[in-house]
Structure 1
Amino acid sequence: MFDPRDPEFLADPYPYFARLRRRGEVHWHDGLGLAVAVSHAAASAVLRHRGLGRLWSDAQPADRFAAFNMLHRNSLLENEPPAHTRLRRLVSTAFQRGHVERLRPRVEQLASDMVAGLTRQIETDGQADLLEHLAQPLPVEVIAELLDVPAPDRPNLVPWSNAIVKMYEYGAPDEQRDSAEHAAAQFARYLNELAGERVRRPGPDLISDLTRSGLTTDEVVGTAVLLLMAGHEASVNVLGNGVYALLRHRSQWEALVADPGLAESATEELIRFDSPLQLFERTAKEDVEIAGYRVAQGTKIAALLGAAARDPAVFTAPDTLDITRNPNPHIGFGGGIHYCVGAPLARVEVAAALRALSRDLPGLRLAGMPRRRAEFVIRGLRDLPVTTASPA
């Protein structure tokens, strides 16, 4: 079994997953305290089985994590039918009022502008951090545009999101948990005020649509926080992990440069090849069987999305990066009733960034080895130094 804190495992978890798949589709993990599904079929079943759900349990002690718990109790991600059905219908209706198409030209412009900034930094210093200049700011700017967060307030969004998501890691120390609660309280207070402002003066943004949808104020706040955290963290790490993979597989980068029309299929392959979210939990609402493994009522099982994405039973040459891969039935956006509501916007973001990079920086190369984040569940890099200099 793997140790989610082992640097060797964090550097490349996929050989560990392959060994587990060869032994069986579902395994008990003592360290995580739950079963893990490692095949594509078993992980898909975990995500879609109606006997398994997202049953929220407050972080304890509950009074110490009041804001964190409030955000999650009111999130569609942490609710099951009938509450989830109502939330999903209202949020989806608001989200689908043309917001993705409304933002598409703006996303393309943001990506182009940020790649221009990356280019200037490379010209000045000989290299630059792609995460700092593109992967990190692009998703938060897109979500800020979606919610119409005033420009002076936008620098607060990433620190809040980064602090809150640390709570999802197994064995998070008290300092990280307290920081998550502090950020959740600040974020909730800010969005509460913003939602109140949109009730008085609605606009074309998503928060205005959510406030008119029938959601409570806490549900509007919980939805907005979910969109930022899920949208920001996933897109940052798809771009970071993905560009790193492309630059290590030079033929694939050159194929994208030669044909920018591959940006959409490349987006799907980058999500599959090095999943930004490695694990997603479900709790048994009744006794359930997944691939012959019994999950007792009240116990948890997780879909190991990274393991499912390299299953040779579904993907030909799964350890090969192939940006033309078709079909590509990855489950990187989840599945079942909790399928990511923001997936269409995330796809637009990543494809726009890939087009801008391949068009404006065709000679992009690694300028050094990136540093990897120490977390397992949310897989990503701390930096990605790049240059356009020719290799020695």
Structure 2
Amino acid sequence: MSAVTAFDPWDPAFVADPYPVYAELRAAGRAHHFPRTGQWLIPRHADVSALLRDRRLGRTYRHRFSDEEFGRTPPPPEHAPFHTLNDHGLLDLEAPDHTRIRRLVSKAFTPRTVELLTPTVQRMADELVEELIADGGGDLIEAVAEPLPVAVIAEMLGVPEPDRELLRPWSADICGMYELNPGEEAARRAVSASVEFSAYLRHLIAARRKTPGDDLISALIEAHDEGDRLTEQEMVSTCALLLNAGHEATVNSTGNGWWTLFRHPGHLAELRARPGELLPTAVEELLRFDTPLQLFERWVLDDIEVGGTVIPRGSEVALLFGSANRDPDRFDRPDELDLSREDNPHLSFGAGIHYCLGAPLARVELAAAFGALLRRAPGMRLVREPEWKPGFVIRGLRELLVEI
């Protein structure tokens, strides 16, 4: 079986452990055509890193070409609410729109914002862990990994406490469209969630226009640069992106990270013995070792060449973050966990103009969650081996059952 044939993101066994196939892909070459999606798989770190920064590629092509000119079929009209929400956010824009919106959002979502949130994040993590301890254990993902980033983002946006339970289902349904070849049922759920979430955010924005607060929505309303401001749709899409991209990644980073630690008991014991010293590098290593975002796509806007293979304009490349983060040409002993690894240029937050705006907040959340569990639940044990959710692009566990 060839490496490309073995690449099967719909196979539960592959989703559970894609890393042997990644090694085969890296050994077989730098670019591989994948007929099942029509994409080009890019498995090596140097190429993934370079293409993330290459302006001949883009998250969209519509700033330069129509669908017809690019040889693509427009999305069905009934999917419009999802695409309206998605296509006005930073993740799927290119310059000049991306440059303008990121500049304005950065005026509201500043390092000071994250710094001021840090004590609140730590308090929330401590409270969630205390509840898990009081219950004697449970599902670590449901009890800690999921509620923490939702609570943080809700706090940032100023979402009232009774409404916060709405956010997680909306996020999960919208993110279903980021998988490879999503079906009509996934599209239906994403469209419904996009309509509901957009309407809710417009309601919040209207309320903050009347009565501004200390929340991010109020800051986005006020953000301006030489008279330029965010449109209401840009604010709605920005808030949705903060929930979807930040929340899903943080949940799976926590779950995947603890599953990794449970499979490496010696490393876990070392981390429990020296959390203050090891936690910063441990968080980065866990993000590298089993990244929650396995694949990131780019459109080829002008012909490129990768390893002697010409990839023509109109193609789509699938940048394999999980493979790049295990590339032996860039990482020493890449398949070994090293919680004190210093030279760790992992690509889990991307690179280039689309580098994750929320990366500093994600690091704060992960340090708070791991730190609280290490300090307050030093005897936490795994109950049984977990199962993986079917998604491959955003890859995480269904549950992680623990006892204290």
Q: Give yes or no for TM over 0.5.
A: yes
Q: 1:56 to 1:239 in 2, by over 3 A?
A: farther
Task: Give the corresponding residue for 1:219.
Answer: 234
In the alignment, what sits opposite 1:23?
28
CA–CA distance in structure 2, aligned partners of residues 349 and 86 of structure 1: 28
- For residues 165-204 of structure 1, the aligned pairs below 5 Å read 165-204=175-214
Q: Any idea what SS the aligned residue of 1:323 has? A: coil
Task: Answer yes or no: is the 8 Å Cα contact 1:131–1:384 preserved in 2.
Answer: yes
Letter of the 1:199 counterpart: R
Question: Is 1:233 aligned to 2:248, yes or no?
Answer: yes
In structure 2, distance between residues paired with 1:386 and 1:198: 41
Counterpart residue number, 1:7? 12
2:257 pairs with 1:242: yes
Paired letter, 1:295? I
Please say if residues 128 and 385 of structure 1, whose CA atoms lie closer than 8 Å, have aligned partners that are also in contact. Answer: yes
Post-superposition shift, 1:56?
Answer: 5.8
Given candidates 333, 344, 359, the residue that maps to 1:343 is 359
Q: Indicate the residue corresponding to 2:388 in structure 1.
A: 372
For the Cα contact (< 8 Å) 1:3–1:31, is it kept in 2? no
1:53 to 2:58 alignment: yes
Q: 2:136 aligned with 1:131, yes or no?
A: no
1:150 aligns with 2:160: yes
Letter in 2 for 1:352: A
Cα deviation for residue 61 of structure 1 reads: 4.5
**Equivalence for 1:255:** 270
Provide TM-score, normalisation by structure 1: 0.95
Quote the offset at 1:40 in angstroms.
0.3
1:90 and 2:104 are equivalent in the alignment: yes
| Residues 125 and 372, structure 2, Cα contact 8 Å, conserved in 1 | yes
Q: Please, what is the CA RMSD of the aligned residues?
A: 1.3
Identity of aligned residues (%): 49
2:84 maps to 70
What SS does the aligned partner of 2:9 have? Answer: coil
Question: Aligned partner of 2:257: which letter?
Answer: G
Once the two structures are superposed, residues 57-92 of structure 1 have per-residue CA deviations (whole angstroms, 9 ceiling, x without a partner) of 799544201210111221111111111110111111
Aligned residues: 384
Tell me the SS of whatever aligns to 2:371: helix
Please tell me whether residue 116 in structure 1 is matched to residue 130 in structure 2.
yes
Gaps of 5+ in 1: none
CA contact (8 A) 2:37 2:181 kept: no
- With over 3 angstroms needed to count, the CA separation of the structure-2 counterparts of 1:240 and 1:182, relative to structure 1, is same
Cα distance, 1:382–1:102 mapped onto 2, change above 3 Å: same
In the alignment, is residue 279 of structure 1 matched against residue 295 of structure 2? yes
Q: For 1:65, what is the secondary structure of its paired residue?
A: helix
TM-score with structure 2 length normalisation?
0.93
Q: Is the 8 A contact 1:46 1:290 kept in 2?
A: no
The verdict on how the C-alpha distance between 1:56 and 1:141 changes in structure 2, with shifts beyond 3 A counting, is farther
4+ aligned runs moved over 4 Å, structure 1 = 56-61
Q: Select the residue among 92, 105, 113 that pairs with 1:99.
A: 113
Instruction: Using the TM superposition, give the Cα deviation of residue 290 of structure 1 relative to its aligned residue in structure 2, in angstroms.
Output: 2.8
Q: How much does 1:38 deviate? A: 0.3
